[in-house]
Amino acid sequence: MKTFNQISIFIVEDDPFFTSLYTAEISRDAQFNLRGSSENGKGALTFLKSNPIDLLICDLHLPDINGVQIISQAKQMQPDLAILVITGIGQEDDFFECLNFDVKGFIQKDELPNNFSNILSSVKQGYATLSPKIAKKLLNKNVSNQTQAQDTQNPLTSRETEVLTMLAKGLPIKSVATELNLSPHTVSGYTKIIYSKLQVRSNVQAVMKGQKNRWIP
């Protein structure tokens, strides 16, 4: 049963090993409430129709329904749902399509971070995470669509650029705050300013725009 202020989570994953791994990580932190899991898209969507949750962990490659389709339908049913994609085989086009549904994080299974609970909290708060391999894939896809780099002037301050650079490394808000000797609240404030200046809605989009324009490495 969910207690006050707990983050309710549902897992869509067809590999029992990873389902068990996520379950174990979630159960270690009292702020999370695992509502259930499904090894296929049909079961997940059936659950989501009548059970509101806060955060969906979703693989993109499932036996019955493509993960992007699951995400699309889930967001229609629950518009405020936060989503973390954790996948093992992903195609760049899948990741880009997920951005249309305001997905907050992308992690590759072989790059699962030690600070998994911080990642979940950050995604729920709207501050996304990219694992290094996913970030590289997104960047390569983005660069391939550009004939030359843009020379647009960086609208961010040095501190805002520093924050965005750390977000590009896949660090959650709490870790960025620790690295910069700032409070998480202050870093969250910088992130909102970055969104506004770059006219984006997520960390993923901000990082992509910053790297495309060579404002960050």
DSSP conformational letter for 88: S
CATH number at residue 94: 3.40.50.2300
Note whether 129 and 148 are same-domain residues: no
Angle in degrees, CA 10, 14, 15, rounded to 5: 105
Query: Is residue 90 one of the residues assigned to a domain?
Result: yes
Note whether 62 and 155 are same-domain residues: no
Note whether 75 and 39 are same-domain residues: yes
Cβ–Cβ < 8 Å for 162, 201 = no
Look at residues 77, 110, 133 and tell me which one is the last residue of a structural domain. Answer: 133
CA 194 to chain centre: 17
Burial class for 186, CB neighbours closer than 10 Å (0-12, 13-18, 19+): middle
Residue type, position 209, single letter: K
Cβ–Cβ < 8 Å for 156, 197 = yes
Residue-wise pLDDT for 149-175, tens only, equals 455 788 999 999 999 998 888 788 888
Residue 60 belongs to what domain range? 7-133
Note whether 156 and 128 are same-domain residues: no
CA 110 to chain centre: 16
Residue 39 clears pLDDT 90, i.e. is over it = yes
pLDDT given for residue 108 in this prediction: 81
Structural domains in the chain (count): 2
Note whether 63 and 160 are same-domain residues: no
pLDDT given for residue 147 in this prediction: 44
Note whether 14 and 116 are same-domain residues: yes
Residue 18 clears pLDDT 90, i.e. is over it = yes
User: Which has more pLDDT, 66 or 78?
Assistant: 78
